[in-house]
Amino acid sequence: MAGDGIWPWLFIAPLVAGISVFYFWPVLQTAFYSLTDWGVFGGWTFAGFANYVTLFADPALYLSLGNTLLYTAIVLLGIPIAVYLASLLNLPGLRFAGLYRVLFFLPYVAMPTAVAMVWRVIFNGDFGLLNHALAIVGIDGPYWISTPGAATVAVAIVGLWSSLGFSMIVLAAGLKNIPPEMYEAAELDGATRWRQFRSITVPLLTPSIFFVTIITVISSFQLFDLLYAILGSSNPVLPKSMSLVYFFYREGFVNNDKGYAAAIAMVIFLIIGIVTAIQFRLQKRWVQGD
Amino acid sequence: MSPSFPTPARRGAAVLAGAVGLALALSGCSGGSGGAAGGSGEYAAPESDLSAKITYGVWDQNQVPAIEENIAAFNEEYPDIDVTVNVTPFAEYWTKLQTQASSDTLPDLFWMNGPNIGLYASNGQIEPITGAVDAGDLDLGNYPEALVDLYNIDDVQYGVPKDFDTIGIWANKALFEQAGVPLPEGDWTWQEFQDTAAQISSALSAEGVYGGAGGMDGQTTYYNTIFQAGGTVIDGDASGYASPEAAEGIQFWTDLIASGGSPSIQQLTDTTGDQWFTSGKLAMYWGGSWFRSAITDTDLAANVTVLPLPSGEEQATVIHGVSNVVSAASKNKQAAQALQVFLASEEAQQQQGDAGAVIPAFTGTQSAFTESLPDANLQVFLDSVEYAKPLPVSKNSAAWNAEEAELLPQAFAGERPVAEVTEELAEKMDAALAEE
Amino acid sequence: MTDRTTFVRTRTVDSVPAPVLGRGAPSTTARTARTRRGRRGGSHVVAHLVLGVGGLLMAFPFVWQIIMSLSTNTEVQSVTPVFWPAELQWDNYARVFDRLPFLSQLQTSVTITVIRTVAQILLCTLAGYAFARMRFRGRGLLLALVLSILMVPSQVYLLSQYQLVQGFGLLDSLGGLVLPGLFSAFGTFLMRTAFLAMPAELEEAARLDGANPFQIFWKVMLPLAMPSISVLAITTVLWSWNELLWPLVVTTFSEKMPLSAGLATLIGDRTTDYPVVMAASLLAMAPVLILFIVLQRRVIDGLASSGLK
């Protein structure tokens, strides 16, 4: 297949050079150190696959993987919601569209540590708003942030809340690429709005939906700050609610077992890589025009 | 200290780098000093015209005004030593310090705490203060003994405390009155504490008020009771949890929760002890002297008084304090040591005390602290230094702190017998200690 | 030039009178493009209901944050929660300026954010375009490698990047602060997605006009990608604005720190003055929020109504 000669290389060179130095190189170093017993302040001895052998026998790996998957699944529920909301916002002639956009975007701008404080108040088991609201409809809410499982759900609710704004602006940009003439034609054919949503909006938006899905999965697998901020560092359910990256952080920066942490990082890398590769495979089935 | 990266790594790294065409990256980056070279502790007070630029790493923004006063006084003596204060929040402080230590860029002088001193000292990152002590510029006798010991690793002294905190009981007098329970006076026993807490809880249950509160922070709760029972948390190179005394110290909290004298651990996770207290829903809060800053200037201040911790087999409280340490890799070691010595002096410590953010460590400079809430009997915190035990730490405290956090809630909640939990904890802690 | 003809063409389409057969919608004033659209699809009651309720739910924690920023620390930490302070503590906002060198930190934040955003837009659109629309050996592999760096926990990069910046002699400098953040795999992926969705005919036409690949990119394709570029701008600004660990680790002077790092120093290890933290974070997010309001109206809406889609 004939290429475009030197041009593509000129286009990608600055980015690829920067990424290589500042990102590939650290990843390669990490890959190397995952095979060593790496001292806290540097220095190492070769350890072969010892870190990986220990890791695959460590229940914490499977526990944190399970928590991460649960979290990711809940945050992914935000994507259909975002698609629906973005299409509503795109309705021609909709008044206050700008205001709505700002409202949905607010959580994405808010500073995580400040917002975590607010959410802790909302989730508080004895005095929280959420449990007050649930009590009204006769549900006895759990101690959200101090019950294993419920804690993951609580963090995921915040994750969904804060990522919705991002998904919506990406999808809004995608919607601008759909020619209004298509809706007009459908209108002429007497298609209902729901029908238009299903047969025009969603199919033509699939590249953006695909993009948002990939990014959401990747960033959900990176769950760390939010978990830490909402549960708090001395929370007794933290060991049962930890995410993969929290597991990595705990081993590398708290327990100072850096070689082991490097191995965890490589496993996280592998897991996300596989999940992403599967998504790219599957996209051929549902993404249009790619 | 020059980077002493072993050669195979360089080669291995170079091969990997070459694979993606990254030779460029090799120039600056295969750093890391693994050895425990350390410093000799060599010291000589500099001439007053020594010119240097040094950085001073700290984590508490609240203390910066006092630090700046200290530096101004220091500059009267050494006008040409330029000190930059670098504040990093506590949560990120240790990550940053580790990164800097791995790259030989530690601040010349920086704050160190008990849980981390072992790691940094034993890896040769910190300059001992032996020279300054031998020269007579630092007198270890001026500071609380338990804290001086905290910064002594393998018989080498790395620092003296700049401040300290001890644990006492913050009591809400209004709630005692409301419950019709007399305010305890003077020394008291475990049983008296338990009874008082249970009485207040039951008298004020309609208001949702509790008498006492446990928690997952060992420093303010269960370490104290373990010491009071005559036990230890860490004993030489081994865990102290296997002893019956340690189990008693844990049992204290299990009993308190079971009697209704304290909210459950789950409740305390959602709403921390200090929150219960400042909300007027807790009569007795086991808290550090640092809690004073959360009380002053609030409506609560008039109702607050401090009680000594109750005695078990013996009287005890946990003491901890921060120390200023000099980086072994500092390029301006003489200047950094001069500042270290100055900050430990009576003059600088008096300034710290008067600024009121902390209790200074130098004996006799603490009066400003007690006067900051004159009716609250803050003297308790100073008096308890006499029987204080240092915060239990090891070279890798975090590893067994994590085991405590995982196992002890089961004991506090009464899910498993206390002795069974502490035995399992001792085993796991011993395993963690063996890896150090 | 081709881009101008495109522009004119779509604009013409836009100004063509609307089809008359709109169903149901109460037609108010005719003839403007706005009402043409308004006519399609009937009333917006359901949309307003969903967006209104959803929007309030989304904004609620944020509104509460505003209330907390005007409360006392005791009120903020109080159980049961205090919904409205006994007295509004406007003083909390003044205290932010006592506690932080707010303006110089704001300046640092603006500087590093502008540099990174411009650099990312430039580098990511170039690379994204090449990955989407050019053919070259190893394209799939290189793209996969670029994407792969998203899959590693970001803390992994900390030590290596620190030592690289140290090696370049850029510790504690503006260069060191911005450098790793100039390159974005996320942005490349975003722009690739945007360029993939564009019709091929425009490029063909320009190529026949004798334009070289860079001219095609710059004059034809880049303007079309404006909606996605504004998304990239917003996400980069936000990311850079809120970034915490890196600036804390590479800077040692509080005046040189960006606001995000400065804010974090307000959080103590034992006690924290939460209302001041809330006030400071609201002050810090205000510029970004204003930027978003401007961007979403000027760029997203503006482009749509000009027909440049």
Residues B192, B289 within the same domain: yes
Partners of C145 on chain A (C-beta within 8 Å) are 24
Flag whether residue A5 sits within 8 Å of chain B, measured between CB atoms: no
Question: Would you state the pLDDT for residue B12?
Answer: 38
Partners of B100 on chain C (C-beta within 8 Å) are 249
Q: Does the distance separating the beta carbons of C193 and A207 come in below 8 Å? A: yes
**Domain C99-306 superfamily per CATH:** MetI-like (1.10.3720.10)
Confidence band, pLDDT 50/70/90 cuts, at residue C283: very high
Give me the residue spans of the domains in chain C: 99-306
Decide if pLDDT at C238 tops 70: yes
Nearest alpha-carbon partner for A163 in A62, A246, A261, A77: A77
Question: Would you state the pLDDT for residue B19?
Answer: 38
Question: Would you state the pLDDT for residue A289?
Answer: 58
Q: Does the distance separating the beta carbons of B276 and C167 come in below 8 Å? A: no
Residue of A85, A87, A113 to mutate for C, most C C-beta atoms under 10 A:
A113
Amino acid at A234: S
* Residue B383 counted as domain residue: no
Question: Would you state the pLDDT for residue B356?
Answer: 82
- Asked if omega into B99 is within 30° of 0 (cis), the reply is no
Cβ-contact B86, C252 below 8 angstroms: yes
Residue B86 burial class via C-beta count within 10 angstroms: exposed 0-12, middle 13-18, buried 19 and up:
buried
Decide if pLDDT at B21 tops 80: no
Q: Does the distance separating the beta carbons of A25 and C155 come in below 8 Å? A: no
Q: How far is CA C204 from the centre of its chain?
A: 32
Decide if pLDDT at A26 tops 60: yes
Residues of chain B numbered 167-206 and touching chain C (CB < 8 Å) = none
- Across A230-244, B28-42, B328-342, C71-85, the highest mean pLDDT is recorded for B328-342
* Residue B158 counted as domain residue: yes
Tens digits of residue pLDDT in A125-150: 988 889 989 999 999 999 999 999 99
Cβ-contact C274, C95 below 8 angstroms: no
Tens digits of residue pLDDT in C134-148: 999 999 999 999 999
Partners of B9 on chain A (C-beta within 8 Å) are 32, 44
Question: Would you state the pLDDT for residue C14?
Answer: 32
Measured between CA atoms, the residue of chain C closest to residue A29 is C160
Partners of C249 on chain B (C-beta within 8 Å) are 92, 95-96, 99-100
**Cα(B122)–Cα(B32) distance, integer angstroms:** 16
Measured between CA atoms, the residue of chain B closest to residue C157 is B99
For residues A212-223, give the mean pLDDT: 92
Confidence band, pLDDT 50/70/90 cuts, at residue B32: very low
Partners of B415 on chain A (C-beta within 8 Å) are none
Which of C99, C158, C164 has the CB atom closest to B28's CB atom? C164
Confidence band, pLDDT 50/70/90 cuts, at residue A253: confident
Q: What residue ranges in B88-141 does DSSP mark as E strands? A: 109-112, 126-127
Confidence band, pLDDT 50/70/90 cuts, at residue B38: low
Residues B255, B154 within the same domain: no
For residues B175-201, give the mean pLDDT: 95
Residues B195, B272 within the same domain: yes
Residue B64 burial class via C-beta count within 10 angstroms: exposed 0-12, middle 13-18, buried 19 and up:
middle
For residues B184-198, give the mean pLDDT: 95
Question: Would you state the pLDDT for residue A92?
Answer: 79
**Cα(B21)–Cα(A28) distance, integer angstroms:** 12
Question: Would you state the pLDDT for residue B15?
Answer: 38
Confidence band, pLDDT 50/70/90 cuts, at residue C35: very low
Decide if pLDDT at C272 tops 80: yes
Confidence band, pLDDT 50/70/90 cuts, at residue B10: very low
Partners of A93 on chain C (C-beta within 8 Å) are 34-35, 37-39, 44
**Cα(C19)–Cα(C30) distance, integer angstroms:** 11
Which of A120, A250, A256 has the CB atom closest to B119's CB atom? A256
Who wins on pLDDT, A233 or B403?
Answer: B403
Question: Would you state the pLDDT for residue C301?
Answer: 56
- Please give the interface size between A and B, counted as residue pairs whose CB atoms are below 8 Å apart: 117
Please report, rounded to a whole number, the percentage of residues in chain B having pLDDT higher than 70. 91
Residues of chain A numbered 76-135 and touching chain B (CB < 8 Å) = 120, 123-128
For residues C186-215, give the mean pLDDT: 89
Residues B293, B331 within the same domain: no
Partners of A166 on chain C (C-beta within 8 Å) are 235
Partners of B92 on chain C (C-beta within 8 Å) are 244-245, 248-249, 264
Decide if pLDDT at C39 tops 60: no
Q: Does the distance separating the beta carbons of C288 and A172 come in below 8 Å? A: no
Instruction: Count the domains in chain B.
Output: 2
Q: How far is CA C243 from the centre of its chain?
A: 13
Cβ-contact B226, B246 below 8 angstroms: yes
Element (H, E) at B359: strand B359-360
**ipTM at complex level:** 0.87
Tens digits of residue pLDDT in C101-156: 899 999 999 999 999 999 999 999 999 999 999 999 999 999 999 999 988 888 88
Residue of C9, C77, C92, C152 to mutate for A, most A C-beta atoms under 10 A:
C152
Residue C210 burial class via C-beta count within 10 angstroms: exposed 0-12, middle 13-18, buried 19 and up:
exposed
Which of C79, C167, C249 has the CB atom closest to B99's CB atom? C249
Residue of A33, A106, A143, A171 to mutate for C, most C C-beta atoms under 10 A:
A106
Q: Does the distance separating the beta carbons of A164 and C145 come in below 8 Å? A: no
* Residue B374 counted as domain residue: no
- Across A137-141, A171-175, B171-175, C271-275, the highest mean pLDDT is recorded for B171-175
**Cα(A13)–Cα(A16) distance, integer angstroms:** 5
Partners of C271 on chain B (C-beta within 8 Å) are 290-291, 293-294
* Residue B22 counted as domain residue: no
Which of B92, B102, B291 has the CB atom closest to C245's CB atom? B92
The mean of the pLDDT values for chain B is 88
Tens digits of residue pLDDT in B207-247: 999 999 999 999 999 999 999 999 999 998 899 999 999 99
Flag whether residue C79 sits within 8 Å of chain B, measured between CB atoms: yes
Flag whether residue B287 sits within 8 Å of chain C, measured between CB atoms: no
Question: Would you state the pLDDT for residue C44?
Answer: 84
Tens digits of residue pLDDT in A168-202: 988 988 888 788 888 888 888 888 888 888 888 88
Residues B132, B182 within the same domain: no
**Cα(B347)–Cα(B353) distance, integer angstroms:** 10
Cβ-contact C296, A101 below 8 angstroms: yes
The CATH number covering residue B214 comes to 3.40.190.10
Flag whether residue C244 sits within 8 Å of chain B, measured between CB atoms: yes
Q: Does the distance separating the beta carbons of C13 and A110 come in below 8 Å? A: no
Give me the residue spans of the domains in chain A: 48-286
Which other chains touch chain C, taking contact as 3+ CB pairs less than 8 Å apart?
A, B
Residues B298, B417 within the same domain: yes
Partners of B33 on chain A (C-beta within 8 Å) are 41-43
Sign of the four-CA dihedral B176, B181, B187, B193: negative
Confidence band, pLDDT 50/70/90 cuts, at residue C300: low
- Please give the interface size between B and C, counted as residue pairs whose CB atoms are below 8 Å apart: 103
Residue of C151, C237, C299 to mutate for A, most A C-beta atoms under 10 A:
C151
What's the domain range around B287? 167-319+393-434
Decide if pLDDT at A282 tops 80: yes
Question: Would you state the pLDDT for residue C15?
Answer: 31
Decide if pLDDT at C3 tops 60: no
What CATH number labels A48-286? 1.10.3720.10
The mean of the pLDDT values for chain C is 80
Flag whether residue C166 sits within 8 Å of chain B, measured between CB atoms: yes
* Residue B33 counted as domain residue: no
